[in-house]
Structure 1
Amino acid sequence: MDVDRGFYRQVDVQDHAHYIVAFFVLVIGTVGVSGNALVMYAFFCNKNLRTPPNFFIMNLAVSDFLMAVTQSPIFFINSLYKGWIFGETGCKMYAFCGALFGITSMINLLAISIERYIVITKPLQAIQWTSKKRTCIFIAVVWLYSLAWSLAPLLGWSSYIPEGLMTSCTWDYVTSTPSNKSYTLMLCCFVFFIPLGIISYCYLCMFLAIRHTSRDVEKLGSQVRKSTLIQQQSIKTEWKLAKIAFVVIIVFVLSWSPYACVTLIAWAGYGNILNPYSKAVPAVIAKASAIYNPFIYAIIHAKYRDTLAKKVPCLRFLNQASRRDCISISHSESSFRDSMSSRQSSVSKTKFHRVSSLSTSDTQVWSDVELDSMDQSHRVKSSYSLGALRDKEYKSLAKQIDERGSHSQQQISFSPEDH
C-alpha cells in the first residue's frame, strides 16, 4: 500500500474488525443497489407513477442507488485489504461522491416535505407549484446545492481524508483548523439541522391542518355537504402520502444522527475520545440509509408492489398484499355506501342512489393513496368540480322532493272521498 504520512493515518485494530465491517458493507451495497434499482424500474414501467410528487421519490432512489454503487464496493475492498489502497485521488473522489449523494438525499427529503406542506395547507397554490416543469427545476436546485457543498473540500475549504479504520474517506472533521472547523459547523447546520427544523415545521403545520379540518367536519355533523367530505378525503389522501414520506425522513435522520454527533464531538475539541471504531460504525450506519426506502415502498405502496409483481416473476408474492389492501378498501367503500343509503328517505331513494353511486366512485379514486396517479392540479380542480356537481344534484333533488310533496298534498285535499 502506498502510504503518504501526511495523508494516511495508521490504526491498530484487529483483523476481524475489518472483516465484520466488510460483511455489513457488502450487505448494504447489495440491498441498496438492487432495492433502489427496483424502485427506479417500477417508476419507469408504470406511467401512472410519473407524477410531480413522485419525481422527488424517483430522485431519492437515484441518489441512494448512486450512493450504494460508489461507496459499498470500494469500502468492501478496502476492508478486505485492511487499509486504503486507491491512493489520495481515489480517496477524494470516493469522499466527494459520498458527500454529494448523501447531501442530495437529505435536501431531497426537505423538498418532499415542502411539497407535501404546500399541497395540504395551501391547495390552491399547489396548482401552480406542482407542475412537472417546476418539480424538475426544484430537483436541479437540490443537486446544485449538494454539489456546492461537496466541491468545497476539493477547492480548499476543509479536505477529504481517510477516516475510521482507514478504509473509507470523508471530510476532515478531526484536524482542528479554522478551515476544517468552519466547514464542519456550516455543513452540519445547513445540510442537517436547518433542513431538519424546516421538515419538522412542515409536518407540524400539516398535522394541525388535518386536525382542524377533521374538527370542522365533526362540528358540521350530518349537515356537512358531500363536496366538503370529498375535499376532506382528498386532504386525508395527501396526508397519508405525507406520512409515508415522514417514515422515510425519520429513518434517514436516525441513520445520519450518529455520524453528525461524532463530527460535532470532534468539532468541539474532544476528538481524542473518539477511537477508530466510534468513527467507523457511524459511517457504516450512515451509508445504510440507502437501503431502507425500497422496503418502505414495498410495505406501503400498493401500486409499487403491483408493478413489481407484474414485471418481476420472483416478486409475485407482493401482489397478495395488494389484494388484501383492495379488499379492505372495498369493504370501507361498502360501509360508506350503506351508511349513506340508510340516511335517505323513501321518497328520494331512487334519485339519491345515483348520487350515492357517484360519491362511491369518487371515494374509490381518493382511497387509492398508494402513489398518487393524478397531477396535483387535476386533483384539486376535480375536488371543486365534483363538489359543484353534487351541489347541483342536491338542489335538483330537493326541488323534486318539494314538488312531489306539494303534488301529493293537493291530491289529498281534492280527493272525492273527503267531500
Structure 2
Amino acid sequence: MANYIFASNSTTVHYSNSGRTRNSVAFAAPVLVVLVVMMVTLVLLTVLGNALVIFAFKMDKSLRRQSNYFLLNLAISDFLVGALCIPVYIPYILTGKWMLGKGICKMWLVMDYMLCTASVFNIVLISYDRFLSVTRAVSYRARQGMTNHAVGKMAAVWVLAFLLYGPAILFWEYVSGESHVPEHECFAEFYYSWYFLLCASTLEFFSPFISVAFFNLSIYLSIRRRRLRSRLDTGSPKPKAIAPAQGERSHLNFLLCRNSVMPRKRMACENGEKDVRSCSSQMSPCSARRNNSMSVRSTQYSRLSQDKKLAKSLAVIVCVFAVCWAPYTLLMIIRAACRGNCVEHHWYEVTFWLLWLNSAINPLLYPLCHRSFRRAFAKILCPRHRSTQPPPDPPSPN
C-alpha cells in the first residue's frame, strides 16, 4: 500500500515504500473532494447492490435453486468487500497513516485478499455451473434439488480463498525472521516477492480466466451446434434427400392412421359416446403425435433461446472480469520484479481500485441477467406497482 500525506489547501501526496519517500504529487483540494465522493459512491453501490441480491434471495423462495446459490455466495463476498475492506482503506489513503495497529492491519489484509479471491472463484463456479446447464442439461436438471452439493462448493470457495493468501499474510515475517512493513503503514510482507506473487496470481487470475474463457467458449460452441441442428430438423425436406422406400413407408403409415382412426372416431361419437375426453382420446393419435412433435420443438427452441441469452451475458462477464483484474495482476508482478522502480504508483493504485469496482459491477451483471432476479427486485423495490401487474410467466430454468 502507499503512504499518503495530505496538506490542507494544496494537497501533497508522498508515496512511501519501506520508509523511503519516492516522489510527491500536488493535488488541489477540489480534486480531493471529488476522490472522496467517488470512494463513498463506490461503497454505497457495492453495499446496496449486493444487499439487494441477498435480500431478494431471502424473500423469494423461487430463487432458492442450486444455480442461484452460487450467485448468493458471490453477492456475500462482494457485499463484505464494500462493507469492510473499502471503508477501512479510505481513512488510510486520506491520512497517510495506518492508526489501527499491526494486528488489525493483518486482519484487514486477510479479509481483503480473501474476499477478492473468493469473488474470483465464485465467478469460476458460476461459469462452470452454466457450462453444465447447457452441455449436460438432463443430468443438471436432475441435480437441481441437491442443495448440499451447492453448499459444499460454496464452502470450498472460501477455504481455498483463505489458503491462497491468508497463511502468507499471517506468518511471512515469522518464516523470514523480519518484518518489512514500516510503522504506521499496512501492506503485505510479500509486497516485493515477485516469485510468490507470480505463483499466487496464476491461481488467482490466470487459471480462473482461462477456465472461465473455456467454459464460455464451450457454451458458445454447444449452442452453435444445437442451432445448426435445429435448422436442419425444421427445414423443409427435399425430395432427393428422402429414399423412396422411406417416403412410401411414411405415406402408408399416414394413410393407415387416418383410415383406421377416423371411422372409429365417428362411430364412437355417433353411438352416443358421452365422455368427450374419452371420445377425443380415441380419435386423435395422429393429431397427438403432431402436437407432441410441435411441443418438443417449441421446448427445444425455448431452451435454445434461453441458452443464447445466457451465452451473451457470460461473454460480458468474461470481458468485465478481464478488464478489472488483468491490469492489477500484471502491474503487481512487474512492480514486485523491479522493486517498484519501473511503475508509477498512481497507476498501480488505479488498477487496485478496479478490483473493488468489479464487486460493484457484479450485482448488475449476474442477477440482472436472470429474469427471476429482475422479478424479485421489482417486487422488493416497487411492491405497489408489482401488485397491479398480471401474474408472471414461470421462471426459466436458467
Per the TM superposition, whether the score is higher than 0.5 is yes
1:157-186 deviation per Cα after TM superposition (whole angstroms, max 9, x unaligned): 8999879xx98645633x2xxxx2232011
Distance 1:140 1:127 in 2: 22
Question: Counterpart of 1:14 in 2: which secondary structure?
Answer: strand
> How much does 1:286 deviate?
1.3
Native 8 Å contact 2:118 2:161 kept in 1: yes
Distance 1:289 1:281 in 2: 13
**1:121 matched to 2:190:** no
Question: Counterpart of 2:341 in 1: which secondary structure?
Answer: helix
Alignment of 1:1-12 (within 5 A): 10=21, 12=24
Aligned twin of 2:171: 155
Aligned twin of 1:14: 26
**TM-score, with normalisation over the residues of structure 1?**
0.66
> How much does 1:104 deviate?
0.4
Aligned twin of 1:107: 121
> Cα distance 1:119–1:298, how it changes in 2: closer, same or farther (>3 A)?
closer
> Cα distance 1:247–1:257, how it changes in 2: closer, same or farther (>3 A)?
same
Aligned twin of 2:212: 199
* Structure number with bigger Rg: 2
> Cα distance 1:51–1:231, how it changes in 2: closer, same or farther (>3 A)?
same
**1:70 matched to 2:88:** no
> How much does 1:235 deviate?
4.1
**1:257 matched to 2:326:** yes
Aligned twin of 2:71: 57
Moved runs in structure 1, 4+ residues, more than 6 A? 157-163
Q: Taking every aligned residue pair, what percent have the same amino acid on both sides?
A: 23
> How much does 1:225 deviate?
5.3
1:351-390 deviation per Cα after TM superposition (whole angstroms, max 9, x unaligned): xxxxxxxxxxxxx64xx44x74xxxxxxxxxxxxxxxxxx
Which letter does structure 2 place at the counterpart of 1:59? Answer: N
Native 8 Å contact 1:36 1:65 kept in 2: yes
Distance 1:78 1:227 in 2: 61
Number of equivalenced pairs: 319
Aligned twin of 1:277: 346
Aligned twin of 2:223: 210
> Cα distance 1:9–1:51, how it changes in 2: closer, same or farther (>3 A)?
farther
Native 8 Å contact 1:64 1:101 kept in 2: yes
Distance 2:185 2:18 in 1: 13
> How much does 1:7 deviate?
5.8
Aligned twin of 2:147: 132
> Cα distance 1:255–1:6, how it changes in 2: closer, same or farther (>3 A)?
closer
Equivalent position to 1:93, from 107, 119, 142: 107
> Cα distance 1:44–1:248, how it changes in 2: closer, same or farther (>3 A)?
farther
Tell me which moved more, 64-73 or 23-32.
Answer: 23-32
Native 8 Å contact 1:113 1:203 kept in 2: yes
1:127-161 deviation per Cα after TM superposition (whole angstroms, max 9, x unaligned): 46543111111111111110101213222289998
Structure 1: gaps spanning 5 or more residues: 327-363, 373-419
> Cα distance 1:242–1:133, how it changes in 2: closer, same or farther (>3 A)?
farther
Distance 1:171 1:255 in 2: 24
1:276-329 deviation per Cα after TM superposition (whole angstroms, max 9, x unaligned): 21221111121111111223357544433332333335x978x69x989x8xxx
> Cα distance 1:18–1:187, how it changes in 2: closer, same or farther (>3 A)?
farther
Distance 2:137 2:189 in 1: 41
Distance 1:201 1:229 in 2: 29
Aligned twin of 2:46: 32
Aligned twin of 2:270: none
> Cα distance 1:14–1:291, how it changes in 2: closer, same or farther (>3 A)?
same
> Cα distance 1:225–1:301, how it changes in 2: closer, same or farther (>3 A)?
closer
Alignment of 1:7-406 (within 5 A): 10=21, 12-14=24-26, 16=28, 20-127=34-141, 130=144, 131-153=146-168, 154-156=170-172, 169-170=187-188, 172-173=190-191, 175=192, 180-221=193-234, 226-269=295-338, 271-296=340-365, 300-313=369-382, 365=394, 368-369=395-396, 372=398
RMSD of equivalent CA atoms? 3.5
